Amino acid sequence: MLKVENLTKSYASAGRQLTVLESVSFELQPGDTFSIVGPSGSGKTTLLGLCAGLDRASSGSVWLNGIQLDTLSEDQRAAVRNEYVGFIFQNFQLLPTLTALENVLVPLELRGIQGGEKTAQNLLERVGLAGRGHHYPTQLSGGEQQRVSLARAFANRPKILFADEPTGNLDADTSATVVELLFELNREAGTTLVLVTHDLELAAKTQRVVRIKGGTVVSDSFSDRAIAPTPTS
Ligand SMILES: Nc1ncnc2c1ncn2[C@@H]1O[C@H](COP(=O)(O)OP(=O)(O)OP(=O)(O)O)[C@@H](O)[C@H]1O
Ligand SMILES: [Mg+2]
């Protein structure tokens, strides 16, 4: 489902090369659940963006569902994302001029699916925002925006879901609901989950935990507390 090989990302900064990710490799099968943990600034968001084809590596390759992303143009990568990927951004990235409901509808409309309102409304309900569909992002709290972003990421039933700190702005109860939704999607639709989190309790719920530090993998282990046995298809 996802294969990452020798992924390296550097930025030119004040005339110097700043390497934020160095030679990262791993491979995930469909339905796997996976966490990336590590200190602030260690390269987690960068890695997630490269895996999802939002950004291009300086060297190395990413295969998503068998498609080698680094050989594709920007538009081709966008098409692959729309077809297979759900993404929950650390800073939500909701479109400010659209209401919550309209934001959730975007991936469906991009796919040319008509009459997605009911699906979008159901998703908002499931994240506890049934009555807030007509509100704009600025009228929602951080945690509420995070949940809209979650509903949007679920809308096209992605084959693989990338979530950057999906519970970072939520209280314990809402966080538990969100975690339940994530693993339910994994169980019911076989969606591969790739989570970035500072919450080690959440990380331990995934089958495999990779720790990165200073842009390199320092440990890669399997959790004995993983939940959500995935369908064997
Ligand atoms: N466009 C850029 N230009 C230069 N440096 C960048 C750029 N984007 C990210 N970086 C640097 O790359 C490093 C890794 O950033 P990244 O956002 O991946 O960290 P992170 O592990 O997600 O941190 P956090 O837990 O705080 O979200 C940081 O030092 C950051 O300053
Ligand atoms: Mg980050």
**Torsions phi, psi for 106 (to 5 deg):** -55, -50
Q: Is 80 helix (H, G, I), strand (E, B) or coil?
A: helix
- What are the residues whose beta carbons fall under 8 Å from the beta carbon of 135, sequence distance 6 or more? 99, 100
| Mutate which of 24, 45, 55, 56 for ligand 1 pocket (most atoms within 8 A of beta carbon) | 45
CA-CA distances (angstroms) from residue 63 to 74, 115, 151, 155, 160?
15, 32, 26, 23, 12
Confidence at residue 25, expressed as pLDDT on a 0 to 100 scale: 97
Q: Whole-angstrom Cα distance, residue 72 to residue 56?
A: 10
Confidence at residue 173, expressed as pLDDT on a 0 to 100 scale: 87
Computed over every residue of the chain, the mean pLDDT equals: 93
* Cβ contact 157:84 at 8 Å: no
Q: Which CATH number fits domain 2-96+142-222: 3.90.380.10, 3.40.50.1820, 3.30.1110.20, 3.40.50.300?
A: 3.40.50.300
Cβ–ligand 1 contact at 41 (below 6 Å) = yes
* Single pTM value for the model: 0.93
**Which residue, 194, 121, 192, is CA-closest to 157?**
192
Confidence at residue 59, expressed as pLDDT on a 0 to 100 scale: 96
Confidence at residue 169, expressed as pLDDT on a 0 to 100 scale: 83
| Mutate which of 13, 18, 22, 47 for ligand 1 pocket (most atoms within 8 A of beta carbon) | 18
**Which residue, 39, 153, 35, is CA-closest to 105?**
153
Confidence at residue 224, expressed as pLDDT on a 0 to 100 scale: 84
Confidence at residue 199, expressed as pLDDT on a 0 to 100 scale: 93
- Which ranges of the chain have pLDDT less than 70? 228-233
**Torsions phi, psi for 191 (to 5 deg):** -65, 130
Cross-strand pairs, 33: 193
Confidence at residue 230, expressed as pLDDT on a 0 to 100 scale: 53
Q: Whole-angstrom Cα distance, residue 203 to residue 192?
A: 14
Confidence at residue 228, expressed as pLDDT on a 0 to 100 scale: 60
Kindly give the distance from the C-alpha atom of residue 38 to the centroid of ligand 2, in angstroms, as a whole number: 10
Q: Where are the domains of the chain?
A: 2-96+142-222
Confidence at residue 226, expressed as pLDDT on a 0 to 100 scale: 86
- What are the residues whose beta carbons fall under 8 Å from the beta carbon of 207, sequence distance 6 or more? 32, 33, 34, 222, 223, 226
Confidence at residue 181, expressed as pLDDT on a 0 to 100 scale: 87
